[in-house]
Structure 1
């Protein structure tokens, strides 16, 4: 049995960006499931044997080769026999920069990943790349992750990705996997590269078919507003979709609700001080600003990042939040609070328009 550190931990260390929090993946050559279990590892993989170390809980996968059985990324047959070599295992990985292994201080780099790291190139390992449509998303995500390092997708890799789009291979991606890669890309400082790469290979329209894709025809510039925003992924998600009235992207409720409110009230917020009292009352009601305060703060963050003056909205919200309810009619409290809110909004609008 030989154990090698592989993938991102090796790649990032060579780039000088690894830290103690970097996730480590290990590949085990010359072993078997029985031996791993006897050593105290706990098996977690269903499709192929992956084991958790009994102490560190890090993932150890038996070296494997695979054969595609049909369209999509789940229909593979795996060979994890003890005869599978390290090079065979590395050959089925997506990019050369992810196909470098390390044992002690020795590097194993059969596909020249270090050279591509030095030249800032994202290059597929082999034509087997085209068998897994998730790799289109991963290349786009790595383009976002490494944008500030100057990495570019190699042209032959782009061509393989275009062929995967044309063949319908990308159509088999599940909404859950699309969101997983999207969310990771949005967590990076420069997510625009994720969308640019998908657009350049024709996958953006396939992966996000419900969007108004004509907005992003000039893909070299359209997404750059998302870069260098010091905020969370769900905020960037809402900014990305601010012009979309309707979309079909499977995502957590936090993302969906905030993005829908952004789309609904983005234009409204830009002209907030010119709206009628009734429209402003409806705005605070529909956003549930006083009860869902954390979500409303997220909405204000979105508006602020979109260069909208949120101070009038914030000030009025605070006035509404601090109503002295002790003096209101307790017999018909619901009606009394609504009347008080409308009076506050009317007074605010009059003052701001003077």
Structure 2
């Protein structure tokens, strides 16, 4: 029984990235589920045996080989017998840079992942790459994650991704997995590469099918407006990405990828109000009143703050909106007539807005 560190932790270490958020993936070669259980590990996962360490709770997976038997990333049968070798397990991984194992200070790199790390290449390990559609999303996400290092998708890997779109394998992606990879990409500094890679291989229109056609791709990345924004909040970048989409298409996309309510609500507010906000100084008092009512600005203050942050990031001056919001927040309801209080508060708000406008 031998234990190896594999995957992202090894890759990031070789890249010189000190990432405390990178999960450590451990691989066990030459063991069995029975032996792991006898040692005190707790089994999780149904598709193949993964075990939690009794002390650290880190995940340990048995070395395995797999055989494609159906569509999608769940369409596999696994062999986790003691005879499965380290190289066999590494051969089933997506990219060469993720197929490096480490035991103590010794590296095991049968597919030249270190060479591809040095050359900035996202390159598949084998043609078995085409059997798992999630790999299209992962390659796009790694292109975004490692853009600062100059990583590009290898030509032959790009061709395999195009083949997966044509064959329909990409259609087996689940909404949960699409959103997970999208969210990880938006959380980084340079998510534009995620969208460009998907667009270049034809997957963008498939993965985000409710949206209008992807902007034409050339050497210029049509999604660069999402890069290097001074926010780490994925929901805000999600909203900026979708600000000019048709509202019906936006609604359909949110349902299609099952995004969280927070993302959906903010994206819809940005989509339907940002044009109004660009001309805030010229709006009538009734229109301004309706804007504050529609956005539920005074009750949902955290969400409204995110809306204003989003406006500011796309170049809208929000100073007047903030000034008026503060005036409305300062209404002293204790001094108002309690008879028909809701109507009285509404009249007070409208009066403040009329004076402000």
TM-score (norm 2): 0.96
Q: Could you list the runs of 5+ residues in structure 2 that have no partner in the other structure?
A: none
1:274 to 274, 282, 301: 282
Change (3 A) 1:325 1:300: same
Instruction: From 334, 339, 343, give the equivalent of 1:335.
Output: 343
Contact 2:236–2:306 under 8 Å retained in 1: yes
Compute the RMSD of aligned alpha carbons.
1.0
Closer, same or farther in 2 for the Cα pair 1:20/1:236, shift >3 Å? closer
1:1-80 equivalences under 5 Å are 1-80=1-80
Counterpart of 2:239 in structure 1 is 238
Q: Which whole-Å CA distance do the structure 2 matches of 1:145 and 1:336 have between them? A: 53
Counterpart mapping for 1:112-261 below 5 A: 112-214=112-214, 216-218=215-217, 220-231=220-231, 232-244=233-245, 245-246=247-248, 247=250, 248-249=253-254, 250-261=258-269
Please list the CA deviations of residues 108-130 of structure 1 after superposition, one character each: whole Å capped at 9, or x if unmatched: 00000000000000000000000
Checking the alignment, whether the CA contact within 8 Å between 2:65 and 2:88 is kept in structure 1 is: yes
Cα distance between partner residues in 2 of 1:297 and 1:280: 17
Q: Secondary structure at the match of 1:213?
A: coil
What is the CA-CA distance between 1:62 and the residue it aligns to? 0.2
Per the alignment, do residues 21 and 207 of structure 1 end up closer, same or farther by CA in structure 2, a change over 3 Å counting? closer
Shift of 1:273: 1.0
Measure how far apart 1:329 and its partner are.
Answer: 2.0
Contact 2:196 / 2:217 at 8 angstroms: preserved in 1? Answer: no
Give the C-alpha shift of residue 222 in structure 1: 1.8
Matches of 1:204 and 1:336, distance apart in 2: 51
- Structure 1 residue 20 displacement after superposition: 4.0
Cα distance in 2 between the residues matched to 1:297 and 1:42: 44
The count of corresponding residues between Structure 1 and Structure 2 is: 348
Determine the structure 1 residue equivalent to 2:270.
Answer: 262
State the distance in 1 between where 2:217 and 2:343 align. 51
SS in structure 1 of the partner of residue 26 of structure 2: strand
Structure-2 separation of matches of 1:171 and 1:267: 35
Instruction: State how far apart, in whole Å, the 2-side matches of 1:329 and 1:19 are.
Output: 58
Q: Secondary structure at the match of 1:74?
A: coil
Q: Which moved more, 1:244-253 or 1:217-226?
A: 217-226
The DSSP-based 3-state class of the residue aligned with 1:243 is: coil
Conservation of the 8 A alpha-carbon contact between 2:63 and 2:89: yes
Kept after mapping to 2: 8 A contact 1:130/1:160: yes
> Partner of 1:314 in structure 2?
322
SS in 1 for 2:306: helix
Paired with 2:267 and 2:239, the residues of 1 have a C-alpha distance of 4
Query: Do 1:9 and 1:18's aligned partners in 2 also have CA atoms closer than 8 Å?
Result: no
Q: Which ranges of structure 1 fall in alignment gaps of 5 or more residues?
A: 350-354
Per-residue CA distance 1:319-345 (angstroms, 9 max, x = gap):
111112233221111111111111111
